[in-house]
Amino acid sequence: MTLAPRILPHLGRALVLALLAFAIFGPLLNLVLWAFAEKWYFPSKLPLEYGLTFWQRVFAPRGNALASLGTSIWIAVLTVIVSLVVAIPAGYALGRLKLPWRGLILLAFLLPQAVPNLPVYVNIAQVFYRIGLAGTITGVVLVHASHGLVLAVWIASAAFASVDASLEEAARNMGASVWTCFRTVTLPLAAPGLMASAIFVFLESVDEFTGTYFVGVPDVTTLPLLMFNASMGGNYQIASITALLLLVPSIAFMLVVERFLKADVLAMVGR
């Protein structure tokens, strides 16, 4: 009796955590099971046979899965770089400088995310064929960047807005040039937010397939294309395997970025 009040909270906490774990890993377990299932049908509740046949199919030398994975990572890294290079000045302008139509400009960056983009991509492809970017990595990176830019710009603008202006002034008063001041004071303070946006842009690029198809195929093929086709066709094993493969660079990128920061990221976003 006397123990109960002390144990109950622990029990409750454990229970809530367990439920959450089930909610998160239950669906993921399905993914893992399908990746190794060779036979699985009614009335069996679990796979009847496990094996690696489908892994062999994905990794068949002519399937190009590894090369596609490499291309996906390369495109994602480039997309992050392009996004940050254009988003840092834009974020600074939006976060620190007085601007007319600020709201509208912020919304303009949201557009690529806000429209069901199927019909738009036909025209994107047309534009890209015309300017010779179709079938190139550059073309795919630009499409991914325009799609993910809202994350980079919004988060960068928030990060710069939250940098304490008095610190910059102090640096300027000590004779630092605008550039030095930005490089040594503002940018490091905004870095956590910027790095966080890098994670999201990376994930966005690694998951993208519609733009890749219209702009890249057949010269540039990425792993998400295969994953999408397999998943929509109900080819669960291949879709699950490719999804698991794509987890690797995503998680690795996140770990690298987090290490870099040594603190919980995103400290200043949106403030």
Partner 1 sequence: MATLADDTVVEMRRSGDSRFVAFALLAPALLVVGLFFVVPLVLSAVGAFRSTEGAFTLAHFAKALDLYTRDLLFTIEIVVLSTLLIAAVAIAIAGYLTLGEHPRAVAILRWLYRWPLFIPFVVAGQIMRTFLAKNGMLNHVLIGSGLIAPISAQSMLDWRGIVVAFVWKQAPFVTLLLAGAMAALERQHIEAARNLGAPRWRVLVDIVLPQVRGTLLVGLVLSFVAMLSVLSVPLMINPNSPTMITVDVAYRINTFADYAVANALCLLSLLLAAFGAAFYLRHAVRKVEDA
Partner 2 sequence: MKVRILLLSIAALGLASIGPAAAETTLNVVSAGDQNMVDYVNNYLGPKFEQMNPGVKVRAVGTGPGDSGSQKIYEKLEAQEKAGAPKWDVDVAVVHQRGAATMVENKLLMKYRDQVKAGKLVSRDTAKNALGADVDGYVLPMFHSQIAFAYNPDLVKTPPKSFKELEEWVKKNPKQFGYNGVKGGMSGVGFVMGWVEASDPGMRNMFEKGPYDPKMKATIDKSLESLKAFNQYVVMTPGNAGTLDMLNRGEIAMGPVWVDMFYTWMSDGKMNPKVKLELPAPGLPGQPMYYVIPAKAEHADLAKKFIDFAESPEVQADGIVKQFNWYPGIDPQYVQSKMPPKEWNKLFTDITPADLASKGRPFPLSNYFTDIVEGYERVVLK
Q: Which stretches of the chain bind partner 2, using CB under 8 A?
A: 37-43, 48-49, 54, 57, 60, 62-63, 66-67, 69-71, 73-75, 77-78, 81, 121-123, 125-130, 134-135, 137, 213-214, 217-219, 221, 225-226, 228-230, 232-238, 256
Cis peptide upstream of residue 43 (ω within 30 degrees of 0): yes
State which residue, 85 or 167, has the beta carbon closest to partner 1.
Answer: 85
Residue 141: which of partner 2, partner 1, none does it interact with, CB under 5 to 8 A by kind?
Answer: none
Are the C-beta atoms of residues 34 and 234 closer than 8 Å to each other? no
Point out which span in 49-57, 58-66, 101-109, 168-176 binds partner 1 (CB under 8 A): 101-109
> Taking CB under 8 A as the criterion, which residues in 27-86 touch partner 1?
27-31, 34, 42, 45, 82, 85-86
Residue 50: strand pairing partners: 37
CA angle 199, 63, 212 (to 5 degrees): 40
Q: Does 179 bind partner 1 (CB under 8 A)?
A: no
138 is a site residue for partner 1 (CB under 8 A): no
Are 31 and 242 in contact by the 8 Å Cβ rule? The answer is: no
Query: Among 163, 239, 245, 257, which residue sits at the site for partner 1 (rule: CB under 8 A)?
Result: 239
Cβ neighbourhood burial of 232 (10 Å; 0-12, 13-18, 19+): exposed
Decide which of partner 2, partner 1, none touches 238; Cβ closer than 5 to 8 Å per partner kind.
partner 2
**Beta partners for residue 37, in sequence order:** 50
Torsion angles phi and psi, residue 174, rounded to 5: -80, 5
